[in-house]
Amino acid sequence: MPIIEDHKQNYLQRFQNTDMFSFIHILIAIGTALCFIMNTLVNWFISRKRPTYPPIQDELLIKSVGELVAELRQKKITSHQLVRAYISRIQAVNPSLNAVIENRFEYALKDAQHADSLIAKANNAQLVALFARYPLLGIPFTVKESAGLKGLSFVIGNIYRQNMKCEHDSVVAERLRSAGCIPLLVSANPEFCMSYETNTIMNGKCRNPYDLNRVSGGSSGGEGALNGAGATPFGLASDIGGSIRLPSMFCGVFGHKATGGLIPIKGSFPYVEDPRFAQYLTAGPITRFAKDLPILLQVMAGDDSNKLKFHEPVKLKDIKIYYAYGFSGCEALMHLPTAFDIQLAITRAVKCFEKGGLTTKQVNLNKFGNAREIGIRALSELHGIPSVTTQSPPKIRTLIWQLILSLIGKSVHNRDAVFMEWMRLEKAYISDKQADELRAESKKLKEELVQMLGENGVLFLPTFPTSAFAFNTSTLNLVGVGLMLLFNILGLPATHVPMGLDHRGLPIGFQVVAAPYQDKLCLQIAAELEGAFGGWVPPLSHDIKA
């Protein structure tokens, strides 16, 4: 296949083309080197701040959504018990994590009482019908602030939106409520969701549940932190460039970015009418348990879940696995090297499937060399994206001034939000001619990927090159997002799979990618890996009383 074999030709064409070897590539190479040095120094000198919150002590908190639904249906537990247990856990961990923007605990307990009354009144036959209509009846969940929950904060980290409330549930939040789910709160995200570090002037730092000196990721950082700490059964999040997958990786849990356009984003922030936007941005679940992902995805996708053909399973032995560790040769100079522990996790997974008789093949990533440029330029061409400065149209000089102020801690905006908006307005300094070449390259790359993966192929790739980085380093670490952002632009589904902890005690893992509408393959592989390697590793050993 070309994507496997043609990497040398691709690299030579890229750098023999003087248009493509532009100023932006020089900056990226310099930024990559600086980022590598910075991360290395930080890892040497930063001390690990272990969790200061208590371990899980309630057995309800370590059960999957599927298990909880079964126990509710069998009347072994009540929704009120379950909601109270998660409220207590959130109250225990949030002083350390700072993951909550606003809660609705009082209303959630009332919702739980209503769910319990419906269950209590039903006989066995009626229970079947009740849970057919409300498949997640009585299950609490949490919501990323930008995903839109009626009556709760809709500030999205921006000072000009202070005290703003969401007027209507987003489509996905409404679908979850209609399935019987009970929202508990809205969780932290960076300003306008434009950062891989959830750290805002409005709400402060959202901390990693495994190391309080490190980030929980972004932009669904609050959901990552709560899930990683065992403080929610699952979270509603969103992803336009890794915003589900990166927090899932940094916080040691599962996260799925669905096929582009599968899950509607109406009612979330930002929402623009540009049809490309609904392909790039997708809502999705974050959860500790891979076996919950199909249940949640079907509810979130609504009637469109039929496109996923869950009723037509693929036999595990028929799945073909392609994998890659990172970039090689001179192309590696333009990308962060993949940490050894992450490479080892991919190797362990591949060897596991080889023992099971599956076909595996290593591919070369150099064909993905322009992933960053493809993604950034595609996002810059979207129309209607609001400005963090509220100016219409936004002014470059204002952004530059705010960026300078952010360097000395005097800006009212998040540094990454300002920087990313600047890059978007300047179209990442990629010329229109270069953009045409990138669009053609993107189209060809998608065609080759779809042909290679087909209806039974998956691709293992690093989600991000390193485990969680330190606060205030995300701007330089933007150089590592290409392999997440690319699949938003191409519209391919991707699931982050946790694979234990690295030598620093931080979560690691990788993403599993499939062809459009083959989400079920990603979820099937995630479940197999969870069974083989354990999935989520809690930050603290449980202390459950018998």
Q: Which residue has the tokens 């590539």?
A: 25
Which residues are the active-site residues?
144, 219, 243
- In degrees and rounded to multiples of 5, residue 189 shows phi and psi of -140, 160
Cα dihedral 468/474/476/482 (nearest 10): 70
Burial class, 546, CB count within 10 angstroms (exposed 0-12 / middle 13-18 / buried 19+): exposed
Q: Cα–Cα distance between 407 and 410 in angstroms, integer? A: 8
Concatenating the DSSP letter of every residue in 31-77 gives: HHHHHHHHHHHHHHHPPP----SPPP--GGGGS-HHHHHHHHHTTSS
Amino acid in position 62 = I
Q: Which of 1, 6, 25 is nearest to 438 (CA)?
A: 25
CA distance 233 to 43: 32
Other Cβ atoms within 10 Å of 396 Cβ, number: 12
Q: Phi/psi at 391 (nearest 5 deg)? A: -75, 145
Contact assessment for residue 470 and residue 214, using Cβ atoms and an 8 Å cutoff: yes
Q: Considering all CA atoms of the chain, what is the largest pairwise distance in Å, rounded to the nearest integer?
A: 73
Of the candidates 333, 330, 365, the one whose C-alpha atom is nearest the C-alpha of residue 346 is 365
Who contacts 351 (Cβ-Cβ below 8 Å, separation ≥6)? none
Q: Are 286 and 248 in contact (CB under 8 A)?
A: yes
Distance CA 123, CA 90 (A): 34
Query: Is the N-terminal amide bond of 337 cis, ω within 30° of 0?
Result: no
